[in-house]
Structure 1
C-alpha cells in the first residue's frame, strides 16, 4: 500500500537523532507549560517561535507540534492535583479528577489521563495519516473562489464556536482582518494603513501580535488574578488502575476518541470543544452518571481522550488545506510561512518528507509523553508550587528578546507591549483574542483569493455562487450564522458572558 511507503518515509525522518531530540524537547516543554496554570500552548508557541527560526523546517514544526499536544497532557496534572487547570481544555478534567485526588486516588486519575490521552493520540494520528492524503488531493482541485469561501467558513465557525457575546466575537474578527491589511499592497505597491510609519511598510509580524495578545496579555491577567495553590497533603499513591477501573475506562476513552477526532477537524474546534462535549455526552450515557462531580473515573477518561484526539486531528485542515482550525494552528501556519513553506495541499506532494515526518513524530511524541508524565510526577508537582510572580520576569525578558531578534527592531518590542495591553483589556472585557488571531492570519490570504477570483471572472461577484463547492461553503456559513442568531442561542451566549 502507498500509505505504508509514506509512513516509512515519515518514520525515517522522525527517527533521525536531531528530530527525535526536538520532538522530546517539544513534548517536555509542552508538558511543563501545561502544568503551569496561566500559560498555555498558544502563549508558549508564540514565545518560542523566534527560537525556531534558525532550526530546519522539519525540526521546527516537530518541536512546535510537540508543545501543542504535550500541553494537553500536562494540563491534566494541575487540574487533578490542585484543581487549577493548566490549560483550557483541562477545565472539565478538574471536576472529577480533583475529587478522585481528594479521595486518595490521585495516582489512578493521573494514570487514567495519561493512558486515555496516549490511546486517543495514537488513534487520531492514524486517522490523520489516512484522511489527510485524499483531502489534500481534493483540495488540489480548489480554485481561488473555493479557497475564499473556505476561509469565510472558517471565520464564521470561529465566531459561532467562540464563547460569550456574538457581537464581540464578530468585532474581534473585523479587528483581525483590518490589522492584516496593514502594509504594502501586493498588486499596486502602495503602502496602506501605515500612517507614514516606515516600520509598518511590511505589515505587522504575526509573532508580535501573538506574543502580545497571548503572551504578555496572559502574564498581566495572571498577575491580576494570581491564584493561591493548595496542594493535597496526601501522596499521589499507586498509579496503576485496578481491573474495575479499566472496565469503566474503556467505553469513555473510545467515545472520547471518536468525538474528539471529529470535532478537532472543525474550524474553531480542537481540544477545548472536544473535552467539554465528551464530558457532557459521557454524563448522559454513563451507567455511573450519579457519580459525576464526585470522583467518577469516566469524568477523567472521556475529556482527556477527547482533548488529545482533537489536538491531533486539528492538524488535518492545517496540513491539507492551509486553513487553521484554532489559534495554535494559525501560529503553525505562520511558522511554515516564515520557514518559506506555503501552507496548503501542495505541501504533501512537494515536501513529503516534512508532511509525513510531522505525522510520524506524533506517534513518537505520544510515546514520549507517557514515559515523561508518569515517572516524573514528582517534578511536575514541585513546578506547580513555584509562585507565578517568580516566573513572569523571565517570561517577559524572553518575549522581549524573541521579538527584538525578528528584525533587530525596538519598534517591534514596543508594538508587542501595545498588543499585550490590548490582550489584557480584551481579557477583562471577556473578548476572546482567538478569533482576531485567526482573522489576522487568514485575512491577507482571503484578500488574495478574492482578488484572483474577481480577476478570473472579470469582476463578476456571482462566481462564488456559480461554483458548486464554493456555493456550498457559503451556504453553510450563512446557515451557521442564522442558527447562532436564534434568540434562544443568543440568550445562552449572553448568559455565559455575564457569568
Structure 2
C-alpha cells in the first residue's frame, strides 16, 4: 500500500503543468543533443544549470533528467544512419545499426531501437521503483575489490566483441588500455605518455576517440572507396515495422539487455556505456551464429540500446540514495540539488518524497513522450540518406569538429579527432574492430584505480579479491568466460579440421 501511495504522490507531482512542460523540453532537447554527434548530455545540462536557479528543484531535476535519458534515445539515430555515435554509449550501436542502414533497413533499425529503448527504460524504472532501498544497500557492499573484479570481467567480455579474430579483439582491448593510461596518474600525480604536450595531461578526449574511430574513419573509407552502396528506403509505417521473425529475434536480447543495464546502472560509477558494451558482448557469446554480428544483426542494436536506457534510469539510484554520482552528468545534477539546499543521500527518499517519487513517475511520462517524438520522425531522419555525398561528408566533418570543440573549447581536440580518424581507418583496413579499443579505454583507468585502492586497503595482499564473496564470484565468472572462449575456439577448430578431412576423403570419389 505504501508503494501505491508513493506512486500516487509522484503522479500528482509529475502531472503538474510546469513539470510536464519542462519534462517535454528536457526530453526534446536531449533527443536533439543525442542526434548531434559529439555534443552529449553533459554540455547541454551544464548550459541549462543557470536556468535551474529560477525554477523549483523538483522541476529542475525533472528537466535535467529528461535531457540525460533523452540523449540515450537520440544518440542511436546518428549511429545507425551515419556511423556517428551521438553519445559514447551509442558507439556500440554503430556496429550493427549502420550495416542495417546500408542494407536499406534504416527505418526498421530506428523503429526497433525506439522500442528497445522504451523497454529498457521501463525495466529500469520498475527496478528503481521497487528496489531502490535494497539496491542502495547492495551498492554500499561494493568496494574497490568488487569494482576491480567487475571491470576485469567487462574487459574479458570485450575481447569477444570483435567480429573477426579473437586475438585481434584482445589486441585492440590492450591498445585501449594503453590509450587510457595517457594523462596524469590520479595517485602519484605523475604525467604518463603525454610527451610534453600540455593538452594530453588530462588524457585523450573520449568524445574525440569515439568520433574519430567511428565517424571520421567511416567518412575516409567511403571517400576512398567511392562508396555508393547505401539503399535509401521509402518510409511508411509498414516498411518501418520489423517482420515477425525479426521481432521474435529481438525479444530475448531486449530482456537480457534490460536486466543487465538495470543491474549495472544501479552500481556507482558504471553507467550506460559499460552496460551497452557488456550487453553486446553477451549477445555475441550466446548467439548461435556470432558471425552475423557486425553485419547488421538486429540483436546487436536492441540489446545494447535496452541496456543503456535501463542503466540511464537506475543510475539515479546511487546518485540520489547514496549521494554518489556515477559520472560527470550525475555530478552536475547533484550540484543542482545542492544549490537548492537539498542534500542527496540515504535520507532523501524520506525527507523529500515529492521530489523522489515525482522524478520516478516523470521518467515514465518522459519515456512515453520520447516514443511519441521519435516514431513519427523516423522518416525525417532516414531522409538524411538521400543527401548527396558531396554535401553530406563535409557536413559530417563540420558537425564532428563543432561537437568535439564544444566539450573543452580546445582546438587541440579537433586535431586529435582527425588523427584518431586516420588511425581508425588504418585499423579498419587491417580488419581490427574499434569497439574493444573503446571499451578498453573506458574501463582501463577505472580498473587501475580500483586495483590500487584494493591493494592499498589490503597492504599489498592480493587475497582480498578472493576473500570477499562478491569479488570472488566475479573473478570466477571471468575465469569461466575465458575457459568457455578457449573451449569454443578449440571446438570450432576441431570441427573445421574434421570437415576438411571429410572433404579430402570424398575428393577422389568426385574425380
TM range (shorter): 0.5 to 0.7
Q: Residue 467 of structure 2 corresponds to which residue in structure 1?
A: 466
The answer as to whether partners of 2:181 and 2:193 remain within 8 angstroms in 1 is: yes
Per-residue CA shift, 1:203-243, capped at 9, x if unaligned?
Answer: 2232332332233233333444533444557x8377999xx
Q: Distance in 2 between matches of 1:442 and 1:475?
A: 19
User: Are residues 1:313 and 2:310 paired?
Assistant: yes
User: Are residues 1:20 and 2:24 paired?
Assistant: yes
Q: Distance in 1 between matches of 2:201 and 2:382?
A: 47
Cα distance change on mapping 1:448 and 1:228 into 2, 3 Å:
closer
TM superposition shift of 1:147:
1.5
Q: Residue 448 of structure 2 corresponds to which residue in structure 1?
A: 447
Cα distance change on mapping 1:388 and 1:453 into 2, 3 Å:
same
Q: Residue 213 of structure 2 corresponds to which residue in structure 1?
A: 213
Q: Distance in 2 between matches of 1:333 and 1:445?
A: 12
The answer as to whether partners of 2:45 and 2:332 remain within 8 angstroms in 1 is: no
What TM-score results when the alignment is normalised by the length of structure 2? 0.66
Instruction: Report the 3-state secondary structure (helix = DSSP H, G, I; strand = E; otherwise coil) of the residue aligned with 2:188.
Output: coil
TM superposition shift of 1:443:
2.2
Instruction: Report the 3-state secondary structure (helix = DSSP H, G, I; strand = E; otherwise coil) of the residue aligned with 1:383.
Output: helix
Structure 1, 376-385 or 167-176: larger mean CA deviation: 376-385
Q: Residue 8 of structure 1 corresponds to which residue in structure 2?
A: 10
Q: Distance in 1 between matches of 2:254 and 2:399?
A: 36
Q: Distance in 1 between matches of 2:423 and 2:190?
A: 28
TM superposition shift of 1:367:
2.1
Q: Distance in 1 between matches of 2:407 and 2:301?
A: 36
Q: Residue 365 of structure 2 corresponds to which residue in structure 1?
A: 364
Q: Residue 55 of structure 1 corresponds to which residue in structure 2?
A: 48
Q: Distance in 2 between matches of 1:50 and 1:163?
A: 33
Per-residue CA shift, 1:162-186, capped at 9, x if unaligned?
Answer: 4322222222222222222222233
The answer as to whether partners of 1:160 and 1:480 remain within 8 angstroms in 2 is: no
Q: Distance in 2 between matches of 1:487 and 1:110?
A: 30
Instruction: Report the 3-state secondary structure (helix = DSSP H, G, I; strand = E; otherwise coil) of the residue aligned with 1:196.
Output: coil
Structure 1, 474-483 or 176-185: larger mean CA deviation: 176-185
TM superposition shift of 1:115:
8.9
User: Are residues 1:261 and 2:278 paired?
Assistant: no
Structure 1, 18-27 or 67-76: larger mean CA deviation: 67-76
Cα distance change on mapping 1:248 and 1:3 into 2, 3 Å:
farther
Instruction: Report the 3-state secondary structure (helix = DSSP H, G, I; strand = E; otherwise coil) of the residue aligned with 2:452.
Output: helix
TM superposition shift of 1:484:
0.9
The answer as to whether partners of 1:89 and 1:271 remain within 8 angstroms in 2 is: no
User: Are residues 1:477 and 2:478 paired?
Assistant: yes
The answer as to whether partners of 1:88 and 1:272 remain within 8 angstroms in 2 is: no
Q: Residue 119 of structure 2 corresponds to which residue in structure 1?
A: 120
Q: Distance in 1 between matches of 2:409 and 2:67?
A: 24
Q: Distance in 1 between matches of 2:485 and 2:393?
A: 38
Q: Distance in 1 between matches of 2:491 and 2:70?
A: 37
TM superposition shift of 1:263:
5.3
Cα distance change on mapping 1:275 and 1:418 into 2, 3 Å:
same
Per-residue CA shift, 1:116-149, capped at 9, x if unaligned?
Answer: 5587356424444245653342021122111111
Q: Residue 154 of structure 1 corresponds to which residue in structure 2?
A: 154
Q: What RMSD in Å do the two structures reach over aligned CA positions?
A: 4.9
Instruction: Report the 3-state secondary structure (helix = DSSP H, G, I; strand = E; otherwise coil) of the residue aligned with 1:54.
Output: helix
The answer as to whether partners of 1:136 and 1:348 remain within 8 angstroms in 2 is: no
Q: Residue 339 of structure 2 corresponds to which residue in structure 1?
A: none
Structure 1, 218-227 or 346-355: larger mean CA deviation: 346-355
Q: Residue 292 of structure 1 corresponds to which residue in structure 2?
A: none
TM superposition shift of 1:408:
3.8
Cα distance change on mapping 1:356 and 1:458 into 2, 3 Å:
farther
Cα distance change on mapping 1:20 and 1:258 into 2, 3 Å:
same
TM superposition shift of 1:434:
2.4
The answer as to whether partners of 1:263 and 1:274 remain within 8 angstroms in 2 is: no
Per-residue CA shift, 1:69-108, capped at 9, x if unaligned?
Answer: 3466898999xxxxxxx9555589889996xx9xxxx9xx
Structure 1, 177-186 or 456-465: larger mean CA deviation: 177-186
TM superposition shift of 1:372:
3.2
Cα distance change on mapping 1:271 and 1:488 into 2, 3 Å:
closer
**Unaligned 5+ residue runs, structure 1?**
34-43, 79-85, 282-298, 323-331
Q: Distance in 2 between matches of 1:387 and 1:350?
A: 56
Q: Residue 167 of structure 1 corresponds to which residue in structure 2?
A: 167
TM superposition shift of 1:473:
0.9
Pairs aligned (count): 432
The answer as to whether partners of 2:277 and 2:304 remain within 8 angstroms in 1 is: no
What TM-score results when the alignment is normalised by the length of structure 1? 0.67
